[in-house]
Structure 1
Amino acid sequence: MDVIALIARILFAFIFLGSAFGHLTNAEAMAGYAAGKKLPQPKLAVQFSGVWIGVAAVLLILGVWPDLAALMLLVFLLATAFLFHAFWSETSPEGKQQEQIQFSKDVSLAGGALGFFVLYAAETHPGLNLVGPLFSLS
């Protein structure tokens, strides 16, 4: 069970490592998209979010406060879903479809992050962690 939980953490965090790398290496291009969504200080926001999700992904993989890492990812995913992928405000059918797909992906991943939070904040959480959970749901 412990090895399977570790594999699940690695597989789940994989997308966030790649995204964090993209945020930090392509901050200028991503800032243009963020500016189009009316985000203040778009380049700084892109860089901050890159560090945020990168740290969360590494914490989750290593099992250092995996419950906190899951909450960090949950916050990022819900914020991006509602701030960046508001499909309901799109006017073109193609734009609406693209944003709805991205919104659904972010909400689904948020559900996974919430699942990791519950798993690791529960009384009996899987092992192979460097540091145990920060929160307790018991």
Structure 2
Amino acid sequence: MTITRLLARPMLATIFVAGGINALRNTEGHAAKAKKVTDKVVPAAQKAAPQLPIPTDPATLVRVNAGAQILAAAALATGRAPRLSATVLAASLVPTTVAGHAFWNETDPQAKNAQRLQFYKNTSIMGGLLLAAVDTEGRPGLAWRARRAAADVRREAKHVAKEARREAQLAKAQLT
């Protein structure tokens, strides 16, 4: 593991641990902001996956999001499942950004500018997380492994078919 990865992951994870703890401490304030987003997203999620028990209470969703951020950040910082944890963090950042930094709804120019800056900061962090999500550390990724396994199966199937044809020809020659 390079020194960059050794330092970058914990640095990237820090904001999510702090943000998750803040959301747990101030759940009601976060839930009030999140309600605008959850009122639209929850019905769509329930329609898309009716078999899943999706909570409808914004405070519960804030807690779930905070917990996911803290757990995924800890995993990313310690290098456990870094691609999965980076993906979870990127996904959790979307509702946080849309609900918490809706600069397009601000009327005060200073508040609008501050929210826009936070929105762009979160977008930048998301870019870093997406890079971390696809970083294979020089090891083959899952897609490569799947393609390789499929090629191995095809090669083995050709070999078995060739052997079967040869055996069939030998058996035919022995019968005649």
Give the TM-score, by structure 2 length.
Answer: 0.63
CA-based RMSD of the aligned residues comes to 2.2
Which residues of structure 1 form unaligned runs of 5+?
Answer: 126-132
* Matched AA of 1:39: T
Q: What is the CA distance between 1:117 and its match in structure 2?
A: 1.0
% identical aligned pairs: 34
Query: Paired residues, what number?
Result: 127
Q: What per-residue deviation string (whole Å, max 9, x for no partner) do you get for residues 9-50 of structure 1?
A: 111101111111112222233223334x35342211111111
Counterpart selection for 1:136 from 122, 132, 142: 142
Which residues of structure 2 form unaligned runs of 5+?
Answer: 40-56, 145-176
2:73 corresponds to 1:74: no
* Matched AA of 2:19: S
Q: Specify the structure having the higher radius of gyration (Cα).
A: 2
Residue number in structure 2 paired with 1:124: 138
Residue number in structure 1 paired with 2:23: 23
Q: What is the CA distance between 1:137 and its match in structure 2?
A: 4.8
CA contact (8 A) 2:37 2:99 kept: no
**Residues 29, 89 of structure 1: alpha-carbon distance in 2 compared, 3 angstrom cutoff:** closer
Moved more, 80-89 or 10-19: 80-89
SS at structure 2 position matched to 1:64: coil
CA contact (8 A) 1:123 1:137 kept: no
Give the TM-score, by structure 1 length.
Answer: 0.78
Q: What per-residue deviation string (whole Å, max 9, x for no partner) do you get for residues 58-111 of structure 1?
A: 110121110000101111222322343232232221232122011101100000
Q: Which runs of 4+ in 1 moved over 6 A?
A: none
1:73-92 equivalences in 2 (<5 Å) = 73-92=89-108
Residue number in structure 2 paired with 1:39: 38
Q: Distance in 1 between matches of 2:17 and 2:97?
A: 18
Q: What is the CA distance between 1:2 and its match in structure 2?
A: 2.7
Residue number in structure 2 paired with 1:111: 127
SS at structure 1 position matched to 2:142: coil
* Matched AA of 1:12: L
